[in-house]
Structure 1
């Protein structure tokens, strides 16, 4: 998959997409590659996000050979105001998890394992001294919401109480560093290079041949490795809660086992909570209020109280507790 993609946004706008996902945050169009070799995932800012998309730290992403068993960390090309990724698949793991056909779960499990291996290698990268890596955009949006105003925040604080909100923000400070308003250069341990938005929606298994792709670049940032693992597990836990027919409980172990030892399971659970709260906040911001959010408010209160333990499989939580 080395052929050059089309260089003009107009060529991408006028073609019939295989799939299209539109929110106020982002518009994603999936197109067949012109040369017939795979698919193009073109992401552009949504109506509520006027700034162009960029991936300034993409050059830090390592190339992982096929024999590693890791997903290919696919970095984008800048096209117009968006980013273009080339993959071997047209559907993400988020779609496969909702597919009842035989083999769909096995395909998703294989992709999740490859994502765990890829994240392990990404987290081993030591950013150079001149690297400018800020807070992951999702965490930045969550913080802005928590300190801001709006119907969701008012209702959430009325249900949660201020203590839960302060606890959540404290976890964010621990996982990505305090919000100083600056982009730190060459983050020092325990902070290093993180994907920033490791999710089932960014994980693309091949349609027939090729490697699983993890779309990487736009959200690269500084943080603890537990952030990425919790972000991915939080999405699986949320789907299990919101749509029990698609129960993902058995899949929670897969990326953790593939990643291997090292991450603090308590921090992984806390990161899972941050991911679900960020999704709730993004929905309210970019889609508007919906009464379903009342259920999310109650659910996230429970998650905060249990520190996201349901997202970390029993037996993997251990006895360690993060401070």
Structure 2
């Protein structure tokens, strides 16, 4: 496809950018363009079931820090409004989620490097002081989860079917626990708990390693919100929990206490990737503002595990809503019942908390 197809020719370099990838769901459409001068341009626009254009919360996006590459942090690429969506710049055309499907060991190492950058970027994001008059702003994914789990809004047929099955498989008690965890993640309470600026959808799908040279990018913007820092950590780790369960490349058995019973051969296991991410996030380099002893930001491992469960359930809910019904969702219900019962402990490897 030629450059003249770039967002209907409305871009600043419409004649130069070439479409290299396109995919999407009813929630979001992603198009990736290669530009000879700007590297790669990622456009996120509304899917067929998304009401209105994709936009950023203006007050929150102005708070996002732009850390220098020397810190090793991923670029928090907040994007610019472009047509009905957002346009991000990145040094790669493939997300870390796609690289995780590559069986070559070097692909796993590239993802591990990207997770290191993401952890440092999130640590910086979470250290941004919030204005005192800022109202609570839960990320959109949490709103979708709560509306689905509580049944407070009309649902498309596949999502309604999933909810009926969830009530049968989970029972009311598990659903209530899930909603309690969501409330705590959005409005943290208790000693030492505080709200921070959140990415809102920190995941391997939003993480873009460079093709050869350049900086890791964490595509950021429309999901920005506030709440527990553990929500972002659990969101990323929930991706890896789901990977370990679903992918033959990474599937390992867990002992129910956050530790793998066996490791995969040739690739860094999902548990190792979890350790890399949490270990780097917890490093102390003086940028977090959370401690005075030189240590890294303080987080609650139990809350991280619960937030990882929220991420897997949200993904399941979104699939039913934006991609229609699949019998695989019944397997997800059994899997998420296990995760709720163990409070997501497998998301938090021992020795990093």
TM normalised by structure 2 equals 0.81
Q: Deviations over 1:12-65 (max 9, x none)?
A: 7997521111101100000002x4331000000100112111112211100111
C-alpha distance in structure 1 between counterparts of 2:33 and 2:108, whole Å? 24
- 5+ long unaligned stretches in structure 1: 1-5, 179-187, 318-323
C-alpha distance in structure 2 between counterparts of 1:147 and 1:100, whole Å? 39
Q: Does 1:156 align with 2:166?
A: yes
Q: 2:149 aligns with which of 136, 146, 151?
A: 146
Shifted more, 262-271 versus 94-103: the winner is: 94-103
**Contact 2:38 2:89 survives alignment (8 Å):** no
Q: Does 1:279 align with 2:281?
A: no
Shifted more, 144-153 versus 286-295: the winner is: 144-153
1:76 Cα offset (Å): 0.8
Match for residue 274 of structure 2?
252
Match for residue 244 of structure 2?
240
**Contact 2:96 2:205 survives alignment (8 Å):** yes
**Contact 2:185 2:230 survives alignment (8 Å):** yes
1:101 Cα offset (Å): 2.5
C-alpha distance in structure 1 between counterparts of 2:193 and 2:238, whole Å? 24
**Contact 2:136 2:187 survives alignment (8 Å):** no
C-alpha distance in structure 2 between counterparts of 1:306 and 1:131, whole Å? 34
Secondary structure, in 3 states, of the residue corresponding to 2:29?
strand
C-alpha distance in structure 2 between counterparts of 1:12 and 1:278, whole Å? 34
Match for residue 94 of structure 1?
97
**Contact 1:70 1:115 survives alignment (8 Å):** yes
**Contact 1:265 1:316 survives alignment (8 Å):** no
Q: Does 1:80 align with 2:78?
A: no
1:249 Cα offset (Å): 2.2
C-alpha distance in structure 2 between counterparts of 1:207 and 1:95, whole Å? 13
Match for residue 10 of structure 1?
8
- 5+ long unaligned stretches in structure 2: 252-269, 283-295
Match for residue 126 of structure 2?
123
Match for residue 174 of structure 1?
184
**Contact 1:115 1:203 survives alignment (8 Å):** yes
Match for residue 320 of structure 1?
none
Q: Deviations over 1:252-303 (max 9, x none)?
A: 1011011014111000000000000000000001111111000000000000
Aligned residues: 302
Match for residue 269 of structure 1?
305
Q: Does 1:38 align with 2:48?
A: no
C-alpha distance in structure 1 between counterparts of 2:133 and 2:61, whole Å? 14
Instruction: Return structure 1 stretches of 4+ with deviation > 3 angstroms.
Output: 12-16, 129-133
Match for residue 291 of structure 1?
327
Q: 1:29 aligns with which of 28, 31, 43?
A: 31
**Contact 1:171 1:270 survives alignment (8 Å):** yes
1:130 Cα offset (Å): 5.1
C-alpha distance in structure 2 between counterparts of 1:232 and 1:21, whole Å? 21
**Contact 2:103 2:249 survives alignment (8 Å):** no
C-alpha distance in structure 2 between counterparts of 1:267 and 1:118, whole Å? 20
Secondary structure, in 3 states, of the residue corresponding to 1:169?
helix
C-alpha distance in structure 1 between counterparts of 2:163 and 2:105, whole Å? 42
C-alpha distance in structure 2 between counterparts of 1:75 and 1:200, whole Å? 16
**Contact 1:175 1:271 survives alignment (8 Å):** yes
**Contact 2:279 2:352 survives alignment (8 Å):** no
C-alpha distance in structure 1 between counterparts of 2:54 and 2:122, whole Å? 22
Shifted more, 68-77 versus 246-255: the winner is: 246-255
